[in-house]
Amino acid sequence: MNQTQIVVIAKEPVPGKVKTRLVPPLTPEEAAAVAGAALEDTLRTVALAPAVRRVLVLDGAPGAWLPAGFTVLPQRGGGLDERLAAAFEDAYRLLPVPVVLIGMDTPQVTPDLLADAVALLDGRDAVFGPANDGGFWLLGLRDPDPALLLGVPMSEPDTGEIQLRRMEAAGMSVASLPCLTDVDTMADAIEVAALAPRSRYAAALAGIGTRL
């Protein structure tokens, strides 16, 4: 029986607070709509993946985009490293089984990719999904330790490399997943929409019009 939980860390899709690097050419309202669609795609994919529990660690309040079956926990901490560490810590404290964590920036993720992460974590200490921007789109830990994340500089070209070195220096066995593109810039947004043409995210982006 699978004994891994999947955690999504995300922001409520509020205009002016999400996907601000897409403004311009998008308006804050359009960027929030795209972010909301990406979040809903991600959550629905997680709902189809094998997990003993599904958790949303949220900055904000849940809305109609949240599928049934998720435990919702509030984000805590200042910087992203603190919030990621706290997400692992809080989820593991409530249910002490391995944790696979992803964000809301890869709506192209599939249930099969998440199933691979869960399966790999069964035999390794960690599983790592690198992102094209130098960060990571997924991190799985069998026995989460906040110290593995605290102090790692986030949103830098070498974030993923530093995080990987941190785990290897701790003597952990780490499995790797394919590299994916995070939606950060407008070029990223268009690339990811082409990879997931039938997603809510792609439909939201296409509905904005020809300014892209």
The CA distance from 121 to 128, in Å, is 10
- Chain CA centroid to CA 165, Å: 20
Structural domains in the chain?
A: 5-210 (3.90.550.10)
- Chain CA centroid to CA 35, Å: 12
Local confidence pLDDT in tens for the 212 residues of the chain: 579 999 999 999 999 999 999 999 999 999 999 999 999 999 999 999 999 999 999 999 999 999 999 999 999 999 999 999 999 999 999 999 999 999 999 999 999 999 999 999 999 999 999 999 999 999 999 999 999 999 999 999 999 999 999 999 999 999 999 999 999 999 999 999 999 999 999 999 999 965 55
Sort residue 151 into left (φ over 0), alpha (ψ -120 to 50) or beta. left
Contact 73, 56 (CB under 8 A): yes
